A and B are shown apart, each in its own frame.
Chain A
């Protein structure tokens, strides 16, 4: 079974629109970490955020915000007032206590295109 599911393959929005990228995960561990990474066209994955399983507090960083809900095993990412520079592939990822935390499992990614 896929551990990290990003059902949205591609999303297109017009600049300044808000957009939410969905992520659903699956784990049997009680302790785990969730992440979001950004992969711009250059190909280099860039770390955006980490959340541990005991911290369900939502987080906001500038135009970015993350909503973690253990009840639905979801860790969604919202970009407010999107900009062309936000165009990239975004990956949700998981690392589990049972894997020693070092093995990060990535979803298949959501390609976001922001149209000017």
Chain B
């Protein structure tokens, strides 16, 4: 499809396990963002990539969270030693190189449940 694709759409894991969430942005979009949305809350910024590099990772909550974008396209959000508090919908968004500020194209999210 032409939109931002996120996999898996749902992930259930046990406390302490490792999880990877994948984001495939719109082709040609150079900027990629990860947000986290807890129930009843607005999306919360985690990290922003411009190309392959993380331009701003100030939203990552702790060192259990890490994200990569090795070829400047697909990105993977990695969560180590998951905790119940990590349960949320993880949203990915992308924007084109000439895109207007804040006009983000979001995927449908990956719902993570940590038991």
A residues near B, CB below 8 A?
A: 4, 33, 35, 42-47, 50, 52, 91, 93, 95, 99-109
Q: Is the CB of B102 within 8 A of A35?
A: yes
What's the Cα separation between A72 and B55 when bound, in Å? 33
Number of interface residues of B (CB under 8 A): 29
Q: Is B31 an interface residue (CB 8 A)?
A: yes
Q: Would you call A108 and B42 a contact (CB within 8 A)?
A: yes
Residues on A with beta carbons closer than 8 Å to the beta carbon of B44: 106
A102: B residues at CB distance < 8 A: 31, 33, 48, 50, 55-56
Residues of B near any A CB (own CB < 8 A): 3, 31, 33, 35, 40-45, 48, 50, 55-56, 58-59, 89, 91, 93, 100-109
How many whole Å from A61's CB to the nearest CB in chain B?
A: 15
Instruction: Tell me the minimal C-beta distance from A8 to chain B in angstroms.
Output: 13
**A and B contact pairs by CB, cutoff 8 A, 23 listed:** A33-B101, A35-B102, A44-B108, A45-B43, A45-B93, A45-B104, A47-B104, A50-B100, A93-B102, A100-B56, A101-B101, A102-B31, A102-B33, A103-B48, A104-B102, A104-B104, A105-B45, A106-B42, A106-B43, A106-B44, A108-B40, A108-B42, A109-B42
Known: A33-B102, A50-B101. A42 touches B43 (CB 8 A): no
